[in-house]
Structure 1
Amino acid sequence: MPSVLFRPPSKALAWALYDWANSAFATVVIAGFFPVFFTQFWAQDLPDAQSTQWLGYTSSAASLILVLTAPVLGALADQLGAKKRFLLGFTLLGVLATAALYWLGAGHWQAALLLYLAGLLGFFGGNIFNDALITDVAAPAQYERASSLAYALGYLGGGVLFAVNVAMVLSPGTFGFADEGEAVRAAFLGVALWWAVFALPLALVVPESRGLGRRSLRGAAVGAFHELARTFRQIRRLPNTFLFLLAYWFYIDGVDTIMFMAVKYGLDLGFESSSLMVALLITQFVGFPAALVFGRLGARFGPKPAILVAIGVYVLVVLAATQMTRVEHFYALAATIGLVQGGIQALSRALFAGLIPAGQTAELFGFYNMVGKFAAVLGPFLVGTTAAFAGDPRFSLLPILLLFLLGAALLWRVDVAGGRRDAAAVPPPPRGPLFADQA
């Protein structure tokens, strides 16, 4: 189906398949089984509040580490011409950590959290360099379709494996497992294998971009910090790029908050956990064709109008969620979110790729991912605070409206054509051994 809507060169398809590979971790591990299995198996002797606290601390730690290191790692990758090597290194970290969960026995909650932290770092860290590689596999005119294809394959791949894993857990005997716990542990091992196998096309086909001519790792590190400082100054001289990052900070915070709080919101409303798993599957499978359609819309009308439409849909979703009373309503909202979630993520990546200078893609996508992860702090805080004061979970999502509206207002002011001209006018970073032997 993807080849009918968009016929990419082999390297673009190989790059897009990485989303198929690592989305299994996001769907099966992060959104699906780890939080429940951690509470019921590894941390079964801890009070629920304490296990939730430690799980939250681990997720926050992964985000904080990424915020502090993403721009530096991105700059270093640009210096060395090592975006793909960094990507594969983080992939290996995530694969090994996820596979190790299979052998972890009951009660070992500290080890489970350490492996989960390593898995999160592998997943989020890999995304920095996978995002940056879009400029190596597609021409600027193809950014929207290539990015949307990748997100579509991610939704389909994550959804397919998650559906199989849900079936395994609901009927473990059918698949040869002794009980639900064994089926869940096998699901973690399956994610690791899936991630590793489907990362191979990128490893074998996608070319490694050329670096900036550094002769040593030490010199490259010094050069990375020089380039990082220069990039801070440069972003301030690219007003549309800066404005887009600010807009993205607000609206992607709303997107991520809904993504990570939806199951908890459904539980607070009294819906069964099995029904919520069905809702996650609906989002995944609706997200596959919807992301492809958004790619075509972005290519035809531009990514900015399509993102604004998606933000409008999210505003309607939040308003509708406050009136939700039946699980069928939850299913309808899950399908609606699936229509726009992949599209807004894919087109945001494509739009940003067109607003940055050549030769600094990994570094600037480090900033892009840093903004996205730093944003993930505000939304959940607003939701939790509102729920505590309002006493009704239906009101807890209302502050997210402010995030979407602020993001839309700032995005409206972004001059995409002007931003692309400004980025194209920036001279490439100096090549050669400028910092190779310093420090």
Structure 2
Amino acid sequence: MGAGTREAAAAGAEPGGAVEDPGAVRERRREQRGWYFYDWANSVFSTSVLTVFLGPYLTQVTKAAADADGFVHPLGIPVRAGSFFPYAVSASVLLSVLVMPLAAAVADRTGRKKPMLGAAAYTGAAATSAMFFLEGDRYLLGGALLVVANVCFAVAAVLYNAFLPQIAPPNERDAVSSRGWAFGYASGALVLLVNLGLFLGHDALGVEESTAVRICLASAGLWWAVFTVIPLLRLRDRPVAAHGGGAHGSFGEGFRQLGTTLRELRRYPLTLLFLVAYLLYNDGVQTVITQASVYGSEGLGLDQTTLIGAILLVQVLAVAGALLMGRLAQTYGAKRTILGSLVAWTATVGAGYFLPYGQPGWFYALAVGIGLVLGGSQALSRSLFSHLVPAGKEAEYFALYEVSDRGTSWLGPLLFGLTYQLTGDYRNAILSLVLFFALGFLLLLRVPVGRAAAAVGNVPPGRI
């Protein structure tokens, strides 16, 4: 994007030079600010629940239910207690892969993204709040609540992401997506700071440690529910073209529409190539997010206070990292910036294998590396993909985007869990994730973003 185009965009002009109506600009900004707040609402689930508290706590609950050999037997299947949490994450991801495309097809067909977003968000928030009742040896309850909450989290994310092409023109998307991620990481840091105060001060408050953890889990659900109100008030659904068959049987129509979308995707092989690349490298990102605290506690012998402090450091740095990488994308383009972040991911996760046991300083150093690339790589991937989506197909294609995320993010936790089960060493488990970043880098390098955007009928971004 040239300097004149940037100045025009900043003044409320379209890239072609036509000045936008000031009222339309104000309405778009209002929607964008409301959109940011869903990241603010739901990120605490990813941070406080999946990343920090639930993994170690559910592992402890599962160990309390284990037999003398350290195994539990859900559905009669022998599972090492330390592997139950990553397996439960994998199960939730597999189910969400089935549900997300159906929900997205119905949303695009009916044009009712907002009410479906609300339904998914509040169901997930309710399941998260119910984690307050996870205690003793109720590991099956924990696994069930995790599955429900994570599936709803995924479905809501599809619908939320599908608003991005509708509320931001191409020249604004990198910045808008980066601000959304920054809002999310700021929210995660704020809530985690409060959680840390409760966890460290539980004795002074007369609360048992396990009760403090359960309060932290439940508070994430309440936070998710309260702040979801803002995007539901500010976002608006757009009209869709009439479809034969009406609203009746919309779920059956949704399955048929999903099949049409998958067939159509073969016409856009460059979009498909990006999805495969994203499928690989973001699988590594998601597995690091969900398994880092387990690795720290079980593999490195670090206490919960150290883990929370490290994750809090990641959240704070991720705010700055997302905004910084958004600025870098304006200069170098989103694709080049993402490729640079994948090099950093590979080096950081590889270094995790060599961290000394019981020394929190090195774990904090690892957290610094993760925080600086975490938010930016995710935000820019989202905005880059938005250029590769045909108009009117936003929810369906973002469902495929999330499937590309979650379609292998069950493989990451599964590989992590299997590696530990077979070797009994969490260092080997964390090292296995390097493969996802390396392969994702090689495939993304082969995606010509300009041609991919033009192929679906979009104007290519100014910088690639």
Same fold (TM over 0.5): yes
Superposition pairs for residues 393-412 of structure 1, below 5 Å?
Answer: 393-412=426-445
| 2:7 alignment counterpart | none
Change beyond 3 A, Cα 1:103–1:379: closer
| 1:98 alignment counterpart | 128
Aligned-pair distance for 1:98? 1.8
Q: In the alignment, is residue 352 of structure 1 matched against residue 388 of structure 2?
A: no
Q: Structure 1: how far apart are the matches of 2:324 and 2:361?
A: 25
Q: Structure 2: how far apart are the matches of 1:387 and 1:231?
A: 38
Segment drifting more, 112-121 vs 84-93:
112-121
RMSD: 2.4
Q: Please say if residues 192 and 308 of structure 2, whose CA atoms lie closer than 8 Å, have aligned partners that are also in contact.
A: no
Segment drifting more, 26-35 vs 106-115:
106-115
Q: Please say if residues 251 and 404 of structure 1, whose CA atoms lie closer than 8 Å, have aligned partners that are also in contact.
A: yes
- SS at 1:424 equivalent: coil
| 2:143 alignment counterpart | 113
5+ unaligned residues in a row in structure 1: which ranges? 1-6, 427-439
Aligned-pair distance for 1:382? 4.0
1:377 equivalent among 397, 410, 413: 410
Q: Structure 1: how far apart are the matches of 2:108 and 2:45?
A: 27
Q: Structure 2: how far apart are the matches of 1:223 and 1:289?
A: 43
Aligned-pair distance for 1:102? 2.6
Q: In the alignment, is residue 201 of structure 1 matched against residue 230 of structure 2?
A: yes
- SS at 1:240 equivalent: helix
Matched residue pairs, number?
419
Aligned-pair distance for 1:384? 4.8
| 1:365 alignment counterpart | 398
Q: Structure 2: how far apart are the matches of 1:116 and 1:9?
A: 35
| 1:323 alignment counterpart | 354
Aligned-pair distance for 1:42? 7.9
| 1:247 alignment counterpart | 277
5+ unaligned residues in a row in structure 2: which ranges? 1-25, 73-80, 460-464
User: Which residue type is aligned with residue 293 of structure 1?
Assistant: L
- SS at 1:186 equivalent: helix
Q: Please say if residues 125 and 221 of structure 2, whose CA atoms lie closer than 8 Å, have aligned partners that are also in contact.
A: yes
| 1:280 alignment counterpart | 311
| 2:328 alignment counterpart | 297
Aligned-pair distance for 1:111? 3.0
| 1:24 alignment counterpart | 44
1:95-115 per-residue CA deviation (whole Å, 9 max, x = no partner) reads 111222335564444333322
Q: Structure 2: how far apart are the matches of 1:247 and 1:351?
A: 12
| 2:220 alignment counterpart | 191
User: Which residue type is aligned with residue 337 of structure 1?
Assistant: I
| 2:372 alignment counterpart | 339
Q: Please say if residues 19 and 153 of structure 1, whose CA atoms lie closer than 8 Å, have aligned partners that are also in contact.
A: yes
| 2:165 alignment counterpart | 135
Q: In the alignment, is residue 147 of structure 1 matched against residue 180 of structure 2?
A: no
| 1:74 alignment counterpart | 104
- SS at 2:241 equivalent: coil
Change beyond 3 A, Cα 1:188–1:401: closer
Superposition pairs for residues 389-428 of structure 1, below 5 Å?
Answer: 393-424=426-457
Q: Please say if residues 87 and 414 of structure 2, whose CA atoms lie closer than 8 Å, have aligned partners that are also in contact.
A: no
Change beyond 3 A, Cα 1:231–1:216: same
Relative to the length of structure 2, the TM-score reads 0.84
Relative to the length of structure 1, the TM-score reads 0.88
Q: Please say if residues 24 and 161 of structure 1, whose CA atoms lie closer than 8 Å, have aligned partners that are also in contact.
A: yes
User: Which residue type is aligned with residue 438 of structure 2?
Assistant: L
Aligned-pair distance for 1:20? 1.0
Aligned-pair distance for 1:300? 3.1
Q: Please say if residues 182 and 319 of structure 2, whose CA atoms lie closer than 8 Å, have aligned partners that are also in contact.
A: yes
Change beyond 3 A, Cα 1:268–1:188: closer
| 1:34 alignment counterpart | 54
Change beyond 3 A, Cα 1:66–1:19: same
Q: Please say if residues 240 and 419 of structure 1, whose CA atoms lie closer than 8 Å, have aligned partners that are also in contact.
A: yes
Q: Please say if residues 287 and 341 of structure 1, whose CA atoms lie closer than 8 Å, have aligned partners that are also in contact.
A: yes
User: Which residue type is aligned with residue 219 of structure 2?
Assistant: G
Percentage of identical aligned residues? 34
1:73-129 per-residue CA deviation (whole Å, 9 max, x = no partner) reads 211110000111111110110111122233556444433332222211221211111
Q: Structure 2: how far apart are the matches of 1:58 and 1:312?
A: 30
Change beyond 3 A, Cα 1:110–1:288: same
Q: Structure 1: how far apart are the matches of 2:85 and 2:292?
A: 17
Change beyond 3 A, Cα 1:24–1:269: same
Q: Structure 2: how far apart are the matches of 1:43 and 1:125?
A: 31
- SS at 1:113 equivalent: helix
